[in-house]
């Protein structure tokens, strides 16, 4: 009893530990690479793509197994409730003797047969049990071509899985950078808000002592509210970006994400120039690989339709054991049976010929699509490189613009504090800063998207 209790307690403890290990941590600290790897391991959509590869392999084995010997076993019991079978009407003695002789040659026990040589001869059908084993095999050219088609289907599923993994990593990159950039913008907006709030308080105090007009204080208050609205909007966008990243990582909503990669590392000129310097190998493009396999699939479908004229070879062997229950059993079932057959189509009213023509036309269409895609991919590559170059140049310009507007805003704020700048100048500087920050965010996301699209295109 003590041993049982100890074992139960240990099982409970270890079970709790395993559950704790499987549970997602409350706080996840991830670099960009770690986030991508985590998403690949946890994302259920990608797991389904992996399962699709396994399913294709099982379908391939089913096709191969259908060409191998198949063995079946049978076991049964039959009861005809003593039904009496009549082997003929009345006849002469010589006729009945001849019938008995036939049964004797067949090895049939005539004990228990009713009737005489001058009357009808009958036999009761006794209940019996039987067991048997049958081995069979069938082979034709369509099965062989079908196995080749299954191999191609497995390869296509593997490419689809790799493509889905690349798309997932790209989506994680976009969401990851989106979170980082929104966090940076929030810090900038908070700093600007603190400065404007300080000026608004000073202006209101000046109004209270009669040293300034209420209009100036009211305009600054409007600026404060405008910045607060921008901050609230940025917070909502940040929360949306975090939730999108959590969906990709497949973690609960309450999980806190701590992103450790720096945005400057991902948006460096070195990374962009390295990506722009890579050569385009069309065979690495996943879309082109799938089209190639689709064209090969159409070609094999032509072969599949053509081999419908090829005969099917079948062979089987069967062993049957039968045991009558009772005296004087009547068994005419041979224990061993074997057979071979060759089946071939002779006339199909043009069905097979039309099928071949149809598959040839489909193959020709697949070749045209492949050739057209090959030409278009080269143009698409040049366009993606051009998009990345433009996006990087726009990012550099917008980053410089935001830094300049920040300095202008800080200088205008300081001048306004000492009465050297008007309220209009401060308002314009604040608007310029908010606009520059918005353009900066858009430039970053455009650069990330351009970089991700080119990486996916090059299969990086």
Structural domain range at position 129: 76-140+314-343
Give pLDDT, residue 396: 92
Backbone CA torsion sign across 138, 141, 143, 147: positive
Do 318 and 305 belong to one domain?
Answer: no
Q: Give the tokens for residue 128.
A: 């019996």
Do 258 and 178 belong to one domain?
Answer: yes
Do 49 and 110 belong to one domain?
Answer: no
Do 190 and 104 belong to one domain?
Answer: no
Do 46 and 129 belong to one domain?
Answer: no
Closest CA to 195 of 235, 223, 232, 236: 223
* End-to-end Cα separation, the chain, in angstroms: 61
Q: Give the tokens for residue 230.
A: 């921008």
What are the angstrom distances between the C-alpha of 299 and each of 56, 282, 308, 362, 370? 20, 21, 15, 9, 13
Gap between the Cα atoms of 439 and 119, Å rounded: 113
Q: Give the tokens for residue 31.
A: 């670099």
- Give the pLDDT of the chain (460 residues) as one tens digit per residue: 444 444 444 454 444 444 444 566 788 899 999 999 999 998 888 888 888 888 888 988 888 888 889 999 999 998 888 777 776 555 455 555 665 565 555 555 555 554 444 445 667 778 889 899 999 988 888 888 888 888 888 899 899 999 999 999 999 999 998 899 888 888 888 888 887 888 788 778 877 877 667 887 788 888 888 888 988 988 998 999 999 999 999 888 888 999 998 888 778 788 888 888 888 889 889 999 999 999 999 999 998 888 888 888 899 999 998 888 877 666 777 889 999 998 888 888 888 889 899 999 999 999 999 999 998 998 999 999 999 999 999 999 999 998 899 899 888 888 877 878 777 787 788 788 888 888 988 898 899 889 999 988 988 6
Residue 160 resides in a domain: yes
Give pLDDT, residue 23: 62
Backbone CA torsion sign across 354, 357, 363, 366: negative
Residue 15 resides in a domain: no
DSSP state of 115: S
Q: Give 232's Cβ-side CA count (13 Å radius).
A: 6
Give pLDDT, residue 317: 93
Give me the helix-helix angle, 423-458 and 351-417, nearest 10°.
150
Do 168 and 219 belong to one domain?
Answer: yes
Number of domains in the chain: 2
Residue 197 resides in a domain: yes
C-beta atoms surrounding 3 within 10 Å: 7
Do 219 and 298 belong to one domain?
Answer: yes
Backbone CA torsion sign across 225, 226, 232, 238: negative
Question: For residue 218, how far is the Cα from the chain centroid?
Answer: 58
Give pLDDT, residue 200: 81
Do 297 and 252 belong to one domain?
Answer: yes
Do 228 and 93 belong to one domain?
Answer: no
Residue 7 resides in a domain: no
DSSP 85-99: EE------HHHHHHH
Backbone CA torsion sign across 198, 201, 203, 209: negative
Burial (CB count within 10 angstroms: exposed 0-12, middle 13-18, buried 19+), residue 380: middle
DSSP state of 112: T
The residue among 326, 343, 360 that closes a domain is 343
Instruction: Kindly report the length of the chain.
Output: 460
Residue 9 resides in a domain: no
**pTM of the complete model:** 0.71
Residue 8 resides in a domain: no
Do 271 and 213 belong to one domain?
Answer: yes
Question: What CATH code is carried by the domain that includes residue 180?
Answer: 1.20.1600.10
The residue among 343, 361, 385 that closes a domain is 343
Do 232 and 380 belong to one domain?
Answer: yes
Gap between the Cα atoms of 356 and 372, Å rounded: 24
Residue 231 resides in a domain: yes
Residue position matching structure tokens 């989106």: 178
DSSP 368-429: HHHHHHHHHHHHHHHHHHHHHHHHHHHHHHHHHHHHHHHHHHHHHHHHHHTT-S-HHHHHHH
Helix (H), strand (E) at residue 70:
strand 70-78
Return contacts of 332-341, CB within 8 angstroms, 24+ apart.
332/106, 332/108, 333/130, 339/315, 340/313, 340/314, 340/315, 341/313, 341/314, 341/315
Q: Residue 29 in contact with residue 255, Cβ under 8 Å? A: no
Give pLDDT, residue 118: 41
C-beta atoms surrounding 17 within 10 Å: 10
Q: Give the tokens for residue 5.
A: 């209790």
Do 295 and 394 belong to one domain?
Answer: yes
Residue 321 resides in a domain: yes
Give pLDDT, residue 95: 55
Give pLDDT, residue 150: 86
Opening angle at CA 426, ends 421 and 430, nearest 5: 155
């Amino acid at each position: 009893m003590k041993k049982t209790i100890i074992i139960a307690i240990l099982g409970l403890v270890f079970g709790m530990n395993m559950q704790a290990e499987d549970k997602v941590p409350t706080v996840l600290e991830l670099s960009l690479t770690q986030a991508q790897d985590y998403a690949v391991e946890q994302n259920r959509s990608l797991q389904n793509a992996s399962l699709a590869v396994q399913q294709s392999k099982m379908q391939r084995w089913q096709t191969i197994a259908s060409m191998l010997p198949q063995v079946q076993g049978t076991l049964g019991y039959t009861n005809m409730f003593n039904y009496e079978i009549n082997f003929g009407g009345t006849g002469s003695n010589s006729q009945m003797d001849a019938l008995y002789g036939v049964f004797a040659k067949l090895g049939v026990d005539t004990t228990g047969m009713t009737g005489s040589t001058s009357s009808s001869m009958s036999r009761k059908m006794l209940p019996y049990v039987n067991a048997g084993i049958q081995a069979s095999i069938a082979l034709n050219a369509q099965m062989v071509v079908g196995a080749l088609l299954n191999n191609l289907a497995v390869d296509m599923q593997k490419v689809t899985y790799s493509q889905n993994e690349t798309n997932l990593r790209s989506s994680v990159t976009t969401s990851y950078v989106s979170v980082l950039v929104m966090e940076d913008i929030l810090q900038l907006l908070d700093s600007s808000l603190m400065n404007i709030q300080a000026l608004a308080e000073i202006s209101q105090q000046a109004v209270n002592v009669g040293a300034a007009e209420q209009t100036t204080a009211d305009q600054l208050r409007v600026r404060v509210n405008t910045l607060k609205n921008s901050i609230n909007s940025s917070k909502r966008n940040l929360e949306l970006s975090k939730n999108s990243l959590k969906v990709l990582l497949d973690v609960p909503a309450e999980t806190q994400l701590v992103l450790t990669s720096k945005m400057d590392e991902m948006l460096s000129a070195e990374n962009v120039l390295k990506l722009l310097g890579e050569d385009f190998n069309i065979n690495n493009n996943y879309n082109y690989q799938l089209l190639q396999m689709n064209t090969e699939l159409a070609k094999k479908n032509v072969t599949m339709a053509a081999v419908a004229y090829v005969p099917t070879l079948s062979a089987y062997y069967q062993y049957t054991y039968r045991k009558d229950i009772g005296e004087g059993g009547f068994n005419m079932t041979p224990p061993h049976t074997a057979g071979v057959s060759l089946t071939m189509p002779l006339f199909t009213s043009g069905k097979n010929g039309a099928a071949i023509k149809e598959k040839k036309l489909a193959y020709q269409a697949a070749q045209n699509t492949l050739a057209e895609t090959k030409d278009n991919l080269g143009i698409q590559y040049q366009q993606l490189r051009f998009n990345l170059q433009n996006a990087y140049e726009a990012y550099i310009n917008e980053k410089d613009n935001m830094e300049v507007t920040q300095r202008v805003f800080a200088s205008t704020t300081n001048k306004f504090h000492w009465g050297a700048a008007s309220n209009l100048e401060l308002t314009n500087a604040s608007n310029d800063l908010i606009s520059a920050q918005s353009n900066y965010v858009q430039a970053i996301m455009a650069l990330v998207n351009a970089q991700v699209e080119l990486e996916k295109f090059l299969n990086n």
